[in-house]
Amino acid sequence: MLNNKLLELAASFRSSPGSPATQTMSVARRVRGALRQPDKPGFVSAFCQTNCGDVSPNVLGAYCTDTGLPCDFNHSTCGGKNELCYGRGPGYPDEFESTRIIGERQFRKAVDLFEKASEQLKGEVDYRHTYIDFSQLEVTLTKVGGGSEVVKTCPAAMGFAFAAGTTDGPGAFDFKQGDDQGNPFWRLVRDVLKTPDKKQVDCQHPKPILLDTGEMKQPYDWAPSVLPIQILRIGQFVILSVPGEFTTMSGRRLRNAVKTVLTRSGNGEFGSNTHVVIAGLTNTYSQYVATLEEYQVQRYEGASTLYGPHTLSAYIQEFQKLATALIKGQPVEAGMPPPDLLQKQISLLTPVIMDSTPAGENFGDVSSDVPANSTFKRGSTVTIVFWSACPRNDLLTEGTFALVEMLQGKDTWTPMYDDDDFCLRFKWSRPSKLSPQSKATIEWIIPSSSSPGVYRIRHFGASKGLMGSIRHFTGSSSAFVVA
């Protein structure tokens, strides 16, 4: 069956007749109608991360917030500082609009692929899974001109450019991308935690080590060393489950290497129509995987490639082994799984101590309401402010923080939009960082397709008392008219 979220997303793109959003809904209705026909095969969809390590929704480029000029290309800095360099999405400066545009583009492509799909998967369903210690894995490389050499991966480490962040989210202080040297001050800070030995420094070269995470063990390992890798087969469709973020080129090389093993096996089951895809961030997380060339440059992705310059080659080697075993129907060693640290986890996230409201106010009360007997036109924005509490008290999974209801009849309020809809925005804030008081601002940008009538906006949340008890609350705005 078609993923319900796909259809829900289609329903969220409400607009006027003939608009692209309405056409999208029409496509979704046709998809749904086709699926209801008993003679049609079923369909299962999945939206997976693939090789996403250097992919960004900020497609307009990166600019300095102080000057408006493009950032330094090699280091993503502005006047030598990374904090001012930010990427711009297609809806700049409105990040909500950028999110909507990117989401709709992905949805439209998914529908396009669905409607044009013609190839049927045929063949066996099979898999191979193993655990590999990537901290000191021997990797055999083929030399240019012939011959081979054996190299090793390294215990995990993060480079200086890791702390610089990216243009999607810059870091702080004086770190910058493209740094293959480091600086003396931060080396001293690093050495307080753990000084990497010469063997580790040489292994990770040219990455200057900021955090020697693979050799930091208190209160438990700071980085994983044993990783799960897995290959799944559904006929001629092959999925590579990887526990990290591969860059575009890393993913391409891994897919090509595995496809070569499959198509040259000679067993006739895999031909030119073999499809190999990557499912990223699977089963655990081990940061990024850059190519050898990207690693030399030491931008954020290279600095976050944990196991040294040969990390990608290690993945390719081990996935080729899994692919060979899959073709030959041979088992693989399960490997030693990593330790279960679930009961030892610590969190550096400051907990919610308590929530409160001013004297005479209750959670869910309106702080700023619509004017009495107010009327709004389509396209205008209705803004309501409620006394609220920290959303972390209850994320309201499968629920909503905000709801727009329409009056039906004399006293029946019918839900029309919730915080899944791009037209309804929920913004939470505190007057100050140390204050237990907070507010929720709910903005409804009235869609052009909204029916005239009487509406109200509701807010849902949960507050935490001084003794730790959680209590849910609701609030409602005054009624208003949409003309």
| Count of alpha carbons within 13 angstroms of residue 451, beta-carbon side | 12
Distances from the Cα of 53 to the Cαs of 49, 245, 249, 305, in angstroms? 10, 5, 10, 10
Mean pLDDT of 125-146: 95
CA–CA separation, 79 and 296 (whole Å): 24
The domains of the chain, with CATH numbers, are 125-344 (no CATH), 366-482 (2.60.40.2300)
Decide: 290 and 253 in contact? Cβ < 8 Å. Answer: no
CA–CA distance, 232 with 17 (Å, rounded to integer): 43
Residues 245-288: tens digit of each pLDDT: 999 999 999 999 999 999 998 777 899 899 999 999 999 999 99
Written as one string, the DSSP assignment of 371-411 is PTT-EE-TT-EEEEEEEE--GGG---TTS-SEEEEEEETTT
220 known member of a binding site: no
Q: Please write the tens of the pLDDT for every residue from 159-210.
A: 999 999 999 999 989 899 999 999 999 999 999 999 999 999 999 999 999 9
Block residue for tokens 């066996």:
124
269 is in an annotated binding site: no
Query: Residue 81: pLDDT band by 50, 70, 90 thresholds?
Result: very high
Q: What is the mean pLDDT of residues 292-302?
A: 98
Write the pLDDT tens digit of every residue in 320-379. 999 999 999 999 999 999 999 989 989 888 899 999 999 999 999 999 999 999 999 999
Residues in Cβ contact with 179 at an 8 Å cutoff, skipping those fewer than 6 apart? 75, 159, 160, 161, 164, 208, 298, 303
What global pTM score does this model have?
Answer: 0.85
What is the rounded CA–CA span in Å between residue 437 and residue 19? 43
Angle, vertex CA 229, rays to CA 225 and CA 235, nearest 5:
175
Helix (H) or strand (E) holding 104: helix 95-116
Q: What is the pLDDT, as a whole number, of residue 400?
A: 97
Q: Of 416, 386, 407, 358, which Cα lies nearest the Cα of 476?
A: 386
The answer to whether residues 171 and 165 touch, using CB atoms and an 8 Å cutoff, is yes
Both structure tokens of 190: 């690093």
Write out the H or E segment, with its range, that includes residue 296. Answer: helix 292-297
Active site residues: 56
Q: How many residues does this entry show for the chain? A: 483
| Number of separate helices (H) and strands (E) present in the chain | 9, 24
Asked if 296 contacts 308 with a C-beta cutoff of 8 angstroms, the reply is no
9 and 32 in contact (C-beta within 8 Å)?
A: no
What is each CA distance from 267 to 232, 234, 258, 327, in whole angstroms?
Answer: 18, 16, 15, 8
Q: d(Cα 450, Cα 307) in Å, to the nearest integer?
A: 54
The pLDDT tens digits of the residues spanning 209-223 come to 999 999 999 999 999
Helices 20-35 and 4-12: crossing angle, nearest 10°? 150
pLDDT at 14 > cutoff 50: no
